Amino acid sequence: MGSYKVHYSVILLYFFLGNFFVPQCFAIGVDANQTALLVVNASEASARPIPETLFGIFFEEINHAGAGGLWAELVSNRGFEAGGPNVPSNIDPWSIIGDESSLIVSTDRSSCFERNKIALRMEVLCDSEGTNICPAGGVGVYNPGFWGMNIEKGKSYKVVLYVRSLDAINLSVSLTGSNGLQTLATSDIIASASDVSNWTKVEVLLEAKATDHNSRLQLKTSRKGVIWFDQVSAMPLDTYKGHGFRSDLVAMVADLKPRFVRFPGGCFVEGEWLRNAFRWKATIGPWEERPGHFGDVWMYWTDDGLGYFEFLQLSEDLGAYPVWVFNNGVSHNDQVDTSSVLPFVQEALDGIEFARGDPQSKWGSLRAAMGHPEPFDLRYVAIGNEDCGKKNYRGNYLKFFSAIRQAYPDIKMISNCDGSSRQLDHPADFYDYHVYTSASNLFSMSHQFDRTSRKGPKAFVSEYAVTGKDAGTGSLLAGLAEAAFLIGIEKNSDVVEMASYAPLFVNTNDRRWNPDAIVFNSSQLYGTPSYWVQLFFAESSAANVLNTKLQANTSLVASAITWKSSIDSKNYLRIKVVNFGSDNVTLNIRVDGLEANSIQLSGSTKTVLTSDNLADENSFKAPNKVAPTQSLLENAGEEMYVVLLPRSFTSFDLLTEDSNYLSTRGTDYSSRSSF
């Protein structure tokens, strides 16, 4: 926090009114134990509906969030395309089992898939008999996945591969420990030459008889000859709703009850160069036919198993609206001139048709062929990402805007230009707002939207986070400042319609950005304090925000909402308070406007997020070091005194019985409960 000058008049006022009536905008002397008053007006007249879309998630393919993360594919570089289109090429991370006396491995362009021609050619020089006998167990190749495959005892894994050979083949397909010695599951592929003389798809189901979080997939043989491989995939059968998403990661996201999914980036959408940007048409259709691409901003290859269709599916599975961010002909380093941007516009129109067009339409039929004849509920698109300052942005934007408005009048479009402090000079339904800053800045930005014009397009705060040294790799300090910022958004939800933290995921083996909300490796995961903070807002979308008056020093920020639980059909009042200061605060909470005695003692709870130090973080070893703890609120009532711990975020959930209560609008539609 910055320092504030205290005027005499304020000191006099403070003296006159007592501790409870200190205006919020002035700091006062810090007592060891402070007191404050929060008046919540719970009358029907005070309530304002919160947009149903207020809190969602932003998924970007960054930090291996998708490839080697949310997308459950275990094989990295499954099509051997990551080394580029020229041959011979690097097959990393595939490696060879054997040496040059037993096999020669290279790549050629003999694949049967038109858009990804690279295939692996394995010439086995040794044999099971004769002068050059293969080593015990055979020779071949293995794939370590994305820093080790998580193979779990009793679970089944589907291995699919394409194979070709001029001779009969006898191959073992195995999941093994990291050094290849312990076999977790194995199966043989035995075929005659005529069976595999053309590219042949082979499927093998492997059930693991042991667990290893650092496993690999091996393809081995002891038979002389030449074998080609392409598109080698290994997927766990157990994925979220059977749709290919890693269940544990999605479950954590689902707990947030996100109302929208913004995807697939970020800078990932822009690319350093347009040639490396995410282009949706290259990510749909059968997975084997997708070319994959090198994301040159975050510097890694993706096979695009997690493509446009899968993002739409994920949104649907989460009960969230998809928000598709597409490239508007602008990357970090090159731009398409507005006079030649029409093909990009057509690409966006086609993408909308793919998502929601009739199954008989050109692009809608491809969606139907992928198993989803019903349209996806695509209502929001973002025209580019962080491109407002770029030379061609406005020109390009207007081309997209008018074409989409004409073809799809209901689609809401999001501009990259900030309309929070001045009017936009172009039409838009929303403007995108990104903020990455220090903890003290973000904390004070709880008032950021207080003075925003109520007339223009609404804000979509699609990326926010505390970054830099305050945040480390996910600190309590960052979480508290974000909590205050979100409280400000909740209170200003008449002008902020959507908000999402960024980035969502990090695979610890490839940290490209700090901090992130959910941290994982092949088998472990935990939420940073920033993740837990978001959970406090899981019931906010579509709830009602109440008028509150806080009389306290500047280290407190508070809000109150009401909602009706779809689980128990009961009405709840949730009061959230951040104490950003280093002292205990005794807070007198007064709830006005309810029928007498309508707050229930039983069923009312208090949930606190805090820790010993502001720099405290979670880790794989201590995943819940900074996590919310819940207890019964023993003195729940219309008037209560509660103690706010230093450096804490607290939510008071009051069960109310007021039959006139106005919270029927809110629905916590998911069957999961947030705390």
Sites of contact with ligand AHR (CB under 6 A): 60, 62, 265-267, 385-386, 463, 502-503, 513
Pairing of strands 518-520, 525-527: antiparallel
Give the span between the Cα atoms of 167 and 194, in whole angstroms: 8
The DSSP 8-state label assigned to residue 291 in this structure reads -
The nearest distance, CB 571 to ligand AHR, in angstroms, is 37
Give the span between the Cα atoms of 288 and 286, in whole angstroms: 5
The nearest distance, CB 464 to ligand AHR, in angstroms, is 10
CB-nearer residue toward ligand AHR: 296 or 638: 296
CB-nearer residue toward ligand AHR: 308 or 433: 433
Amino acid sitting at position 375: P
CB-nearer residue toward ligand AHR: 382 or 476: 382
The first and second tokens of residue 307, run together, are 């493509």
The first and second tokens of residue 400, run together, are 């997209």
The nearest distance, CB 264 to ligand AHR, in angstroms, is 10
Catalytic residue set: 386
The first and second tokens of residue 570, run together, are 């009961």
The nearest distance, CB 397 to ligand AHR, in angstroms, is 16
User: Could you tell me if 280 and 354 are in contact, meaning their C-beta atoms sit under 8 angstroms apart?
Assistant: yes
Amino acid sitting at position 16: F
CB-nearer residue toward ligand AHR: 170 or 441: 441
CB-nearer residue toward ligand AHR: 80 or 260: 260
The nearest distance, CB 463 to ligand AHR, in angstroms, is 5
Give the span between the Cα atoms of 329 and 340, in whole angstroms: 9
Pick the closest to residue 322 from 335, 309, 305 (CA basis): 309
Give the span between the Cα atoms of 476 and 533, in whole angstroms: 10
The nearest distance, CB 522 to ligand AHR, in angstroms, is 23
Pick the closest to residue 561 from 479, 459, 662 (CA basis): 662
User: Could you tell me if 202 and 163 are in contact, meaning their C-beta atoms sit under 8 angstroms apart?
Assistant: yes
Task: Please report which residue ranges of 162-303 form alpha helices under DSSP H.
Answer: 193-196, 247-255, 267-270
CB-nearer residue toward ligand AHR: 216 or 262: 262
Amino acid sitting at position 293: H
The residue assigned the tokens 């402090």 is 421
User: Could you tell me if 165 and 246 are in contact, meaning their C-beta atoms sit under 8 angstroms apart?
Assistant: no
Residue with the CB atom nearest ligand AHR in the bound state: 266
User: Could you tell me if 33 and 586 are in contact, meaning their C-beta atoms sit under 8 angstroms apart?
Assistant: yes
The nearest distance, CB 503 to ligand AHR, in angstroms, is 5
CB-nearer residue toward ligand AHR: 467 or 553: 467
The first and second tokens of residue 424, run together, are 């936009």
Give the span between the Cα atoms of 320 and 53, in whole angstroms: 8
Number of Cβ within 10 Å of residue 149's Cβ equals 27
